[in-house]
Structure formats: structure tokens, C-alpha cells
Structure 1
């Protein structure tokens, strides 16, 4: 077989559909590929025919030119696919299996992988711990917004769905297992969400909506979602969330109106748990809502989370941002009120979600109809050729999760 159409970053604001070589079991040189990975053999890998590959907010950071991603980078780290070939070292995955691909690439052999810290695998990226498909500084593994994709360490990385027909029937929901559902869930688990929790989630994009869905799944009593986008806030309300528009003022004041005065002597609203699903392109609140202020969300979460509470930070923060608002922000250095967090004994968990820690359990919740994640994030399947339009609409604030469907597996399916 030859040929492989894919979505390629062509510079700030531009993505195009390009023809690539069909995947092989050896890493080739190309845009973003670490030179130490060139020639790396992957007999442990499998080649997948893409069932679904989602457009992610993290991809959007690159497409906006807010990272050091090189032109020509093949995008896409949220992948679901059907195995059509396996390398000679693959033992358990078989041709015909339909699988979810964790966005973290991990080896299963290093210390971190053995401790289930697959977001910081030590062996797949010579630049730093941790890797992902189609992402800047992540080793150069080719992205999955394509017709076909290579998955290394297939026996370890792939989550096989137990029934092929059921998997195709529920493919729009299962497509969320590669990243945003586990990521939102991880944010909530990191923030200690449990039965009866009051939870504030900053951001009503797909990860924020996935976090809100996860909070309910974990038993939260009240889930409050804050954003600047009324359409996205309406989507959050559609499945039971309370919402606030942070352009109307500080989140703490609006949360207080929803919860009541939890601590009258202190005069502060006090949620048990908070999740940052925004990341480094955050804007201010109230009068500053049109101004980029990258530390705003983290500081506001410390303000409105109770003493002894926890904050999950699945939102992306980077070490290189050419469009940063100042020299400090360009290297990921933000002005945080760490003293406030220290005084309130907050705990923080940051970094990539270790998808494999959660994806099997969340798969079972989907397959047994305990959750409707595609509906909650308003997932919409589009052909691969419409990816540039999907990126544009998503960048303009569309309250949708765009799912690319290169081979028509999702045709006629809706959330």
C-alpha cells in the first residue's frame, strides 16, 4: 500500500491536507523529528487505519503559532484506529482489532512507565521525558490526523475494544478516550473530586466539558464551569453544570453567589476542588477579559479553593511561547501567587495526563452507557478534507469537538 493523506501545519493560522508516505516500522527524518530518533526501528509497532482523529485545543496552540512547532509538522495526537498490520515483535494485538491510542507515547519498560507515569516515559523522546504524536518537542512521532498512523510498542500502548461492532457503533464516544476524557478525569482526580464535592472548572472547551462530565461521574454535588464564551457555557448547562461568564467579573464573586457564603467570617467562596482546563493562553477576568494574562486562571483558582483543597492543572503550559505577552511568558515563567497557595495548603498536580491509568475504566463506563461524553462535548464528525475549516471554526470559539473521519467509519453517527 502507498500514500497517506494527512493534516500538516504550514505556519501560523494555516493547516493543509498533504500527501505523505505510508507508515513504516522505522522513523524517518522530517519536520520536528529529533535527530536521535531518525532511523529508530519499531518492530514492536502496529499500523492503524484511522477511525477517528480529533482536533484538540493543544493542536490549536501550535496552529496559532504559540509554540516552536516547525512548518511541515503532521498534526494529531487523539487517535482511534483499526489495526491493519503488525510488526514482528507484536504478540497480542491482531489485525482487525479496533483500538484507542493514548496520546502519550510510552515504552512500558522504563521506571516511570512501570509506576504508571506514562506521560513522562523516559525512552521515547530524546529531548525530555514524555512524548506524543504530532506534537512539538515530543520526539517527532508522526501525527494521527491522517489516513494511516504508526503506533509504537503496540502491545503496551493500544487499548483494544472488546467487541468490534460495538466499538464502531460507539466510536464517537470512544474517540474521546485517547485524550480529553482521561485528561478531564485526571484533572478531577488530581483535585480530589469525590462524592458531594463542590467543584469549579475553569474553561468550557472540550477538556473543561470532559472534566465537568468526570466530576459528575465521580459524584460531585455541584459543578461550576467558568468561561468567556456564552455558547460553550450553554453546552455546559445542557448536562447539569452551573456556569459563570468571567467577562462579567472575578470568578470568586460569582461562585459565591452560586454556593452562598461558605465561610461568612472570611467572606470567600470555598469550593473543595478546582481544575484549570485553560492553560497558558488564558485571558483576564472582568474588564481584562480581552487581555491575555497567562497566570490569571491559576491565581483565581487559589483564591476560590478552600484551605486544604486541591487544584488539578491539565491545561497546557509550555516552555517556549513565541507569542508570549512578555519575555518571562515566552519561556513559561508566570507570576503566580504561590504564597497564597502555600498559606491555604493547596496541592497542585500538573503535566500530561497518564491516559493508560484511566482509559480502561472510562471505556467501560462508555460501553455500559454510564456516560455520554460525545454528547456532553458536542462531538461532530467531519471528513479529513474539512480539517482546515474545523480548525478555523474551533479557533473562533465553536462549542464543538471536531472529530476527523478519514475513511467514513463515523458517517451518519451523531452524539
Structure 2
């Protein structure tokens, strides 16, 4: 039997590459696996040889110790791979297929899945609706920052690339279909971006950059990206966005007015989440900052897309309320301005096929927008550390050297 190596969370600030079991079509016990999911048979699943798997900002929340993730949890929910084994109940996916894996795990059979709400599948996480690979409190499905991984419900979930050779040529773009591109796109769609719209994107990390590129694809007239890190803002500017540096100029409305002539936008997207910081040079962590600021600068009747992650448990929070996900949000302001807020995980399957077509046609240039940077599996711990320092890179792990060759 072949071996398997994977990136595992060790303790706050530390990950390492470990030898783990080769996957089979059963969810075995292990770090973070929900006891009610142990022994779950997955004849509807497949085994993938991982071609690419990405480091995500959501992973960083766990690695920083900002969740209850257990030591030994195998990380990684952004997975692209080649099918090497199919379960007895799989009819349409075949060995040799090159596929994108939605980070949401979804059965395809419950009410939510049938209504295209695959981000809140009711059958894959015993604790609550919604699940993901390699993530705390998401059912315990083993992560994909590894050489091989098991993916359940293959016929329903997997997006097969129509031409393997073409897909490999565009793999740095296509690898973003598992999460970051649909997540950014979902943020833009949720915010009501349409031709001619003016858009503010909070956060110039990879998700923020994906949201900004998505807003451009949807026809926005001006996309403004705000962040505290100059390097990330430079990346946003590289593909045509306006930018605001909130460390140097903390008044967001004034900066928007300098760009648009008015201190407000049609719609806004929160791509920061619960580890938000206040504005200004002496800023500290203030988890409601982004939510309050986007309500402030979005016009009355506007929409707010919130793909940024918020959690119900944050042991490293700045106060007792925030440790339970209770934030000081100016809901009265949002109510007075009749804002629409859309939150939650992204239903990847709602968007990934269309976004694949946009990539294959050359319309979407997502790898360029997020500065996709290829690394080996052994380089993953260094990639985590570099990403945590604020560099403007989206790290793509190549476990078998298939992309580099």
C-alpha cells in the first residue's frame, strides 16, 4: 500500500508534514473526527491523488490558535486531484478523471442540497448543517493538504475538467475553484454587484482579491479595495482596482469620496472576518470593525456580502463576548439604511462550473489576481509562516511535483 503525507496542525503557530494513513472509503477515527461520524462508509466516494491543494486564510485561523482545533488535525479544504479509485456506488466519475473538489461536503440528497444550498448540507456533520475537509467542528472529514485524500459523494460533488491537458496548463487558475474563486464570487453576487456598480471590498487577502476580480467580471464600474498592508493593496492595484490604505488614512468614507466624489458605494463585501483590526497606525484587534464600516459606507438600500469567516468559538478573542461570536455590530445603522446582509459559507457548486468556463475561455485570470505561488508539500510550513506575515501570495501546494514537471 502506498504511503501518504499531509500537513497537520500541531499547536498555535506550528504545522508540520506528517506520515498519515492512506485513505480508504471509510471515515476512520482521528484528530477532530466527530465520534458520530467514525466508521461512516463511503462507497459513494473516491480516492484522489492530489494534484494541487491551497493554503487558505481560514486555515490560518486554526493555525493561529483562534479555534478549538485539536493537535494533529490534517488541514486543507481546497483540493484538486486525479481519481485513482472509485467506490462501488459511484456511477459517473471514473478513474483518471481530473476534478475540482468543492470545500463544502454535501450529500446531494437532503433538502438543503436539493435547493442548491450545499454549504448547509444536513447529513454530513452531526453537530450542525455544513461541513468541510480538514476543518474544526465540521464533522472531521480528513483534510486534503496531503498526497492522497478520500472524497465522499463523488458523483454529486466533483467537477470534472473536460480536457486534462488543457486543465493542467491552467491548473493554477483551476485550483481556485474549490473555494477561493467561488467564495469571492459569492461575496460579489450576494452584495448585488451588477454592471455599473461601485463596490468596496474590505480586505486584500486572497479572498478579497478574488472578490474584487469577481466584481470586475460582473461589470462593476469601480472596485475599491481596503487593507492595512501596502503589499496586498499593490496586488489589488495590479489588476485595475482602486485602493485605500486604512493604516495610513483611517477614515474610509473620506477616501471613498476622493475616488468617487461621494462617501459611499452601491455595495460592499467583507473579506476579513472575525480577526478584523481597527483602522489607523496604532490599530488593535476589533472584530466588528469591518461590519460596521461597510454599513457606514454603503448607500441606503444597498447589499452587503459577507464571505469573511465568523465563528461561534474564538478562544483568543479580545473580550468574553467575542469568544462566543457576539460582536458589537451597529445593527440599528444597517436597519435604518435598509441593508441586506448575506452571510455563511459559500455554496461552491452553485458557481464552480460557470467559473471553470470563464477560466478555460480566458475570461477570468484568477491566478494572476491572487498571485498564485507554487510550493512543495515540504515547503508548506514555511508557506504558512510567510502567509501569516501578510505577504500577498496565494500558496498552492504541489504534493507530487506534477505541476512543476
- Give the counterpart of 1:394 among 371, 382, 387: 387
2:7 corresponding residue in structure 1: 7
User: What is the aligned partner in structure 2 of residue 131 from structure 1?
Assistant: 131
1:224 and 2:224 are equivalent in the alignment:
yes
1:257 aligns with 2:251: no
Match for residue 340 of structure 2? 347
> 1:286 Cα shift?
1.9
What secondary structure, in the 3-state scheme, does the structure 2 residue paired with 1:189 have? helix
Unaligned 5+ runs, structure 2: none
Given candidates 299, 321, 325, the residue that maps to 1:328 is 321
Normalised TM-score (structure 2): 0.99
- Paired with 1:227 and 1:26, the residues of 2 have a C-alpha distance of 43
What is the DSSP-based 3-state SS (H/G/I as helix, E as strand, rest coil) of the residue aligned with 1:278? coil
1:186-205 equivalence runs, <5 A:
186-205=186-205
Deviation for aligned residue 1:325 = 0.2
| Displacement of 1:250 | 2.1
Alignment correspondent of 2:101: 101
Contact 1:2–1:21 (Cα < 8 Å) also in 2: no
Q: Distance in 2 between matches of 1:96 and 1:346?
A: 47
* 1:277 correspondence with 2:295: no
Give the corresponding residue for 2:371: 378
Within 1, Cα distance between the matches of 2:233 and 2:379? 26
Per-residue deviation, residues 300-348 of structure 1 (Å, max 9, x unmatched): 0000000000000000000000000000000000000000000000000
CA distance in 2, matches of 1:165, 1:138: 34
The separation in 1 between residues aligned to 2:402 and 2:212, in whole angstroms, is: 28
Q: What displacement does 1:353 show? A: 0.3
TM-score (norm 1): 0.97
- Cα separation, 1, equivalents of 2:157 and 2:349: 8
Q: Distance in 2 between matches of 1:253 and 1:35?
A: 52
Secondary structure of the equivalent of 1:10?
Answer: strand
Runs of 4 or more above 4 Å deviation: none
The residue that corresponds to 1:266 in the other structure is none
Q: CA deviation at 1:253?
A: 1.5
- The 5-angstrom pairing of residues 26-45 of structure 1 reads 26-45=26-45
- SS of the residue aligned with 1:384? coil
Partner residue, 1:83: 83
Q: Report SS of the residue matched to 1:286.
A: coil
The alignment partner of 1:349 has SS state of strand
Report how far residue 288 of structure 1 moved.
4.6
Distance 1:270 1:21 in 2: 53
What's the secondary structure of 2:91's corresponding residue? coil
Q: CA deviation at 1:410?
A: 1.6
- Give CA deviations for 1:269-309 in whole Å, capped at 9, x if unaligned: 120110000000000012552x0000000000000000000
Cα contact 1:199–1:215 (8 A) shared by 2: yes
Matched residues in 2 for 1:253 and 1:246: separation?
11
Match of 1:385, SS? coil
Please, what is the CA RMSD of the aligned residues?
A: 0.7
2:303 aligns with 310
Aligned to 1:404: 397
* Structure 1 residue 2: Cα displacement: 2.7
**In structure 2, how many angstroms separate the alpha carbons of the residues matched to 1:379 and 1:85?**
29
